Chain A
Amino acid sequence: MGFFLETFLGGLMTGLLYALIGLGFVLIFKASGVFNFAQGAMVLVAALAMARFSGWATEALGSMVLGNVLAFLMSVAFMIAVAIVIERLVLRHLVNQELTTLLMATLGITYVLDGLGQMVFGSSVYTIDVGMPKEPLFLFEGVFEGGMLINPDDLIAAGVAATLVATLALLFQYTKVGRALRAVADDHQAAQSVGIPLGRIWVVVWAVAGIVALVAGIVWGSKLGVQFSLSTVALRALPVVILGGLTSVPGAIIGGLIIGVGEKVSEVYLGPFVGGGIEVWFAYVLALVFLLFRPEGLFGEKHIDRV
């Protein structure tokens, strides 16, 4: 019992990490109808920025807490600057263009960000230490034999992800800004005609996606270290958004959790029968099944075409 729960919880935590990255995809997809290939690169750049800033700020201020807070604020400012530059140099010139054009543009942005990020911040492996408690906790020792092991930093990460998701879901569904974002995704021309400034909306959404990438980068980076492979972690989040639906903020989370748990539980309990390695392909197969039978995902907007 304890072992199953531990596996299950471990899966939930991994799932949350996937979800954080998936969330970035969903944000930009909702606001521009474009699948943003650059999300992984944004996670990498944000994590690199955070790692370097925090090293520098901690030294300068002599306190880890203050240093990290300052570094976080600087990284947020940095991601906002990145969003502004992307809008100025790329998106602004693609208003009213085909979505495929925008899609290709995000591929280009990926390479530029990957390259520039490592050029500016260096390409060695860095660590992010935000001082999360690492001592594992034992829970339910009285309930069943052996209890279960939990990492408190996982719990904190879960709390952060949950808050982020709740805020974003409400923002999208019930406010003027959320409506403007959805409107821009649907129709550039119509959005302009009701006075929605496309440029500003894009800056907002890329900045928010950048901040989500920063949070994801910090959580991933503090567990695994900051290195180039963070950029490809985004590929692991791809099945998450297919499962949850590209247009749904809560969908990204639930998709992430299902895949995280599915991976871990099937690896542990089914793995021995097929020689292991399920974890690597589980998510993709699940995504494939969904693409075949429910292409809009669990919570995505159903696409209806009139004939």
Chain B
Amino acid sequence: MNDMTQTLETPVAGRERIGGVILDLQNISLRFGGVKALTDISFDVREHEIRSIIGPNGAGKSSMLNVINGVYHPQEGRILFRGALREKMEPQVAAAQGIARTFQNIALFKGMTVLDNIMTGRNLKMKCNLFQHALFWGAAQKEEIAHRIKVEEVIDFLEIQSIRNTPVGRLPYGLQKRVELGRALAAEPELLLLDEPMAGMNVEEKQDMCRFILDVNDEYGTTIVLIEHDMGVVMDISDRVVVLDYGKKIGDGAPDEVKNNPDVIAAYLGTSH
């Protein structure tokens, strides 16, 4: 509980918000049988920054995210998270280390309400055991209430108060994306992985989502790794951008550098030979 109030109430100050390297990916190669999804990719993510991964379809962006999240295990390369070398691990271990994510094709618990979905995000923060929960006695009840308060903060933050008790399966696409972000935020992650959070949204929904992403970054100091196809959005909100094409890294740097990189332009527009 204490760490939450801290991150909530101390916004990271102005321009010097970006800190040291939090996630370091070194020479990552990932193959599925004979298919090379990622080849020798290295880049790092600094604390409190918004780091975007872009590239044409099939470039390996989602694979990269799944590597960070522990869904895929690269055959080669090293991953350092907060300076510690990462062993082969499962996604729930990544969650325990403070990495939360959203999915390209929304992966919410469709039969459950918005509230319950976001409550699952607090799963790891709840300490009572099965038997205490079975009895719903004393500590378990207190814990449930404390976490409910945190979840209400997330609901307020994302402005979804009115749909609190709606099963998410009934919500329109844009709102589902917002609930999924809420579930990730409820875990109070240090590192937030967003896989195309604005895909399929209209302009207004995109603007809302951009605002939420910037606010999360600004208010909670959360480090964000973002995959997005909308170049306008990416160039506007990212601190640094890494560009993938056919599983290889072809560009890395501030939005302006990347925009003028001839390889990147070629990958997106094609070249005349």
Is B136's beta carbon under 8 Å from chain A?
Answer: yes
CA gap between A153 and B169 in the complex, in Å: 45
List residues of chain B with CB within 8 A of the CB of A175.
133-134, 136, 140, 144
Is B112's beta carbon under 8 Å from chain A?
Answer: yes
Name the interface residues of B84-136: CB closer than 8 Å to any CB of A.
Answer: 90-92, 94-96, 100-101, 103, 107-112, 116, 119-121, 123-124, 126, 128, 130, 133-134, 136
Is B36's beta carbon under 8 Å from chain A?
Answer: no
Verify A187–B91 contact, CB threshold 8 A. Answer: no
CA gap between A198 and B95 in the complex, in Å: 13
- In angstroms, how far is the closest chain B Cβ from the Cβ of A207? 10
CA gap between A168 and B4 in the complex, in Å: 32
CA gap between A174 and B132 in the complex, in Å: 12
CA gap between A77 and B120 in the complex, in Å: 29
- In angstroms, how far is the closest chain B Cβ from the Cβ of A189? 6
CA gap between A191 and B110 in the complex, in Å: 12
Is B69's beta carbon under 8 Å from chain A?
Answer: yes
CA gap between A175 and B148 in the complex, in Å: 11
Stretch at the interface among A37-45, A98-106, A176-184, A257-265: A176-184
Q: Of B90, B111, B140, B167, which is in contact with the most chain A CB atoms at under 10 Å from its CB?
A: B111
Interface string of A147-185 (1 = CB under 8 A from B): 000000000000000000001001100111111101101
CA gap between A185 and B120 in the complex, in Å: 13
Q: Chain A: interface residue count, which band?
A: 20 to 34
Verify B108–A182 contact, CB threshold 8 A. Answer: no
Is A204's beta carbon under 8 Å from chain B?
Answer: yes
Question: B90, B100, B120, B133: which contacts A171 (Cβ < 8 A)?
Answer: B133
Q: Of B71, B92, B167, B170, which is in contact with the most chain A CB atoms at under 10 Å from its CB?
A: B92
Closest residue of chain B to A304 (Cβ to Cβ) is: B169
Interface string of A70-101 (1 = CB under 8 A from B): 00000000000000000000000000000000
List residues of chain B with CB within 8 A of the CB of A176.
119, 123, 126, 128, 133, 144
Question: A171, A186, A189, A190: which contacts B111 (Cβ < 8 A)?
Answer: A186
List residues of chain B with CB within 8 A of the CB of A194.
95, 100, 120-121, 123-124, 183-184, 187
Closest residue of chain A to B97 (Cβ to Cβ) is: A195
Known contacts: A174-B144, A176-B123, A183-B120. The answer to whether A190 contacts B107 by CB under 8 A is: yes
Closest residue of chain A to B93 (Cβ to Cβ) is: A195
Verify A197–B107 contact, CB threshold 8 A. Answer: no
| Chain A interface, DSSP helix/strand/loop, else mixed | helix
Known contacts: A183-B112, A186-B110, A189-B107. The answer to whether A167 contacts B134 by CB under 8 A is: yes
Question: B92, B116, B133: which contacts A182 (Cβ < 8 A)?
Answer: B116
Verify B109–A187 contact, CB threshold 8 A. Answer: yes
List residues of chain B with CB within 8 A of the CB of A177.
130, 133-134
Closest residue of chain B to A174 (Cβ to Cβ) is: B136
Name the interface residues of A202-258: CB closer than 8 Å to any CB of B.
Answer: 204, 247
Verify A180–B120 contact, CB threshold 8 A. Answer: yes
Is A301's beta carbon under 8 Å from chain B?
Answer: yes
Closest residue of chain B to A168 (Cβ to Cβ) is: B134
Closest residue of chain B to A96 (Cβ to Cβ) is: B71
Verify B134–A193 contact, CB threshold 8 A. Answer: no
Verify A183–B109 contact, CB threshold 8 A. Answer: yes
Closest residue of chain A to B115 (Cβ to Cβ) is: A179
Is A192's beta carbon under 8 Å from chain B?
Answer: yes
CA gap between A167 and B136 in the complex, in Å: 10
List residues of chain B with CB within 8 A of the CB of A197.
92
CA gap between A195 and B99 in the complex, in Å: 9
CA gap between A189 and B91 in the complex, in Å: 9
List residues of chain A with CB within 8 A of the CB of B121.
194
CA gap between A65 and B95 in the complex, in Å: 47
Is A196's beta carbon under 8 Å from chain B?
Answer: yes
Name the interface residues of B145-197: CB closer than 8 Å to any CB of A.
Answer: 167, 169-170, 183-184, 187
CA gap between A185 and B130 in the complex, in Å: 18
List residues of chain B with CB within 8 A of the CB of A191.
109, 120
Q: Of A175, A179, A194, A198, which is in contact with the most chain B CB atoms at under 10 Å from its CB?
A: A194
Q: Of B91, B134, B167, B184, which is in contact with the most chain A CB atoms at under 10 Å from its CB?
A: B91
CA gap between A182 and B136 in the complex, in Å: 18
- In angstroms, how far is the closest chain B Cβ from the Cβ of A181? 10
Verify A304–B170 contact, CB threshold 8 A. Answer: yes
- 23 residue pairs from A and B, CB less than 8 Å apart: A167-B134, A171-B134, A171-B136, A175-B133, A175-B136, A176-B126, A176-B133, A177-B133, A178-B133, A179-B116, A182-B111, A189-B71, A190-B103, A190-B108, A193-B100, A194-B120, A194-B123, A194-B183, A194-B187, A195-B92, A195-B124, A197-B92, A301-B111
Q: A170-B136, A171-B133, A194-B184 are in contact. List 17 more A-B contacts (CB 8 A).
A: A176-B133, A178-B133, A182-B112, A183-B120, A186-B109, A189-B107, A190-B103, A192-B92, A193-B95, A193-B100, A193-B101, A193-B107, A194-B123, A194-B187, A195-B123, A196-B123, A306-B169
